C-alpha cells in the first residue's frame, strides 16, 4: 500500500503553496504549521514532508525554528528540504529534529559534497530531490534548469546507495490536475527497488489510488488538503 505523506511548505513561518514553483503565485493559508502537524499525528500519520521555500531560493536554511517546533512537539518523522547548501545547514537540520534531509541542488551541482554527506550520515538519511521539467533536473528553488537528465541522475545516486527519491514534475505542481503517473511508472520500471516518492498534482483521492495501483511506493501532497479536496480522515493509512 502506498505511503501517505502530508506536506507543509513554509514561507515566513507560514504554510503556503506555489503553482509550478512560481513564488509570485503563492497562496498563504490560515494554518499554523505546528497545529497542522499535531492534527495529522492525531489522525495516525507518521511522517511529514516540510519544505523551507525561503531557504530554497536563498543560500541557507531559513525556517529552522518551524522545524524545531514541530519536531519538539510531535513524534512525526520529518523529512526536511530547502536551503540545505553546507555542512552546517545539514548538521543543523538533523540537530533540530529532522529524520531525513531532502537534497536537490547540492546533489545536482556539487556531487562531491553530496558524496561526503552520504559517507558521513548514511544514504538512508538522505532523500534525493529530483525536480524535473522537460526531462531535466531543476535546482535553486526550480529557478534554474541543470544539464542533468533525470534518469542518469537517479541512476548515478542509486549506484551510491541512495534509495529514497522525491520526484516532482514541476509542470504538475500546485495545478490540482493529476500526477505524472507515467513518469513515475517509467522510473520504477528502470529502478524497481527505488523508494520513489511522487510529488506534484495530487488533486483527490483518485489520484492517490492511481499511484497506488501503479505500484508507486509513496506520495507527498499538500495543496489538495489545504483546499479541502482531500479529507485526511478518509484516507486509509498503512499500518
147 conformational bin, left if phi > 0, alpha if psi -120 to 50, beta if neither: alpha
Judge whether 11 and 166 are in contact, CB under 8 Å. no
Active-site residue, selected from the candidate residues 9, 54, 79, 169: 9
CA neighbor of 32 nearest in space, from 49, 13, 18: 13
Active site residue 193: no
Q: Is 131 a catalytic residue?
A: yes
Separation between Cα atoms, residue 216 and residue 208, nearest integer Å: 10
Q: Give me 93's grid cell.
A: 537540520
Beta strands in the chain (DSSP E): 3-11, 14-19, 22-28, 47-52, 77-81, 100-103, 126-133, 136-139, 144-149, 164-169, 195-199, 218-221
Q: Do 222 and 5 touch, CB atoms closer than 8 A? A: no
Taking the CA atoms of 116, 120, 121 and 124 in sequence, report the sign of the dihedral they define.
positive
Among the listed residues 52, 54, 89, 131, the single catalytic one is 131
Phi, psi of 82 (to 5 degrees): 110, 110
Supply the residues annotated as catalytic.
9, 131
Amino acid at each position: 500500500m502506498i505511503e501517505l505523506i502530508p506536506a507543509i511548505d513554509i514561507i515566513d513561518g507560514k504554510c503556503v503553496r506555489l503553482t509550478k514553483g512560481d513564488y509570485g503565485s503563492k497562496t498563504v493559508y490560515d494554518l499554523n504549521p505546528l497545529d497542522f502537524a499535531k492534527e495529522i499525528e492525531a489522525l495516525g500519520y507518521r511522517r511529514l514532508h516540510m519544505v523551507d521555500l525561503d531557504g530554497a531560493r536563498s543560500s541557507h536554511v531559513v525556517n529552522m525554528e518551524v522545524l524545531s517546533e514541530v519536531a519538539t512537539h510531535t513524534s512525526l518523522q520529518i523529512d526536511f528540504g530547502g536551503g540545505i547548501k553546507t555542512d552546517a545547514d545539514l548538521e543543523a537540520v538533523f540537530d533540530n529534529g529532522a529524520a531525513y534531509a531532502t537534497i536537490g541542488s547540492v546533489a545536482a551541482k556539487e556531487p562531491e559534497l553530496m558524496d561526503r554527506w552520504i559517507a558521513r550520515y548514511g544514504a538512508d538519511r538522505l532523500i534525493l530531490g529530483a525536480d524535473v521539467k522537460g526531462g531535466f533536473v531543476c535546482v535553486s528553488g526550480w529557478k534554474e534548469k541543470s544539464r542533468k537528465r533525470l534518469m542518469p541522475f537517479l541512476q548515478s545516486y542509486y549506484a551510491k546507495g541512495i534509495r529514497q527519491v522525491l520526484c516532482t514534475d514541476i509542470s504538475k505542481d500546485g495545478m490540482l490536475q493529476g500526477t505524472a503517473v507515467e513518469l513515475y511508472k517509467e522510473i520504477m520500471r528502470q529502478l524497481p527497488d527505488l523508494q520513489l516518492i511522487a510529488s506534484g498534482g495530487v488533486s483527490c483521492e483518485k489520484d492517490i489510488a492511481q499511484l497506488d495501483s501503479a505500484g508507486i511506493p509513496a506520495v507527498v501532497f499538500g495543496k489538495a488538503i489545504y483546499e479541502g479536496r482531500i479529507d485526511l480522515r478518509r484516507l486509509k493509512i498503512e499500518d
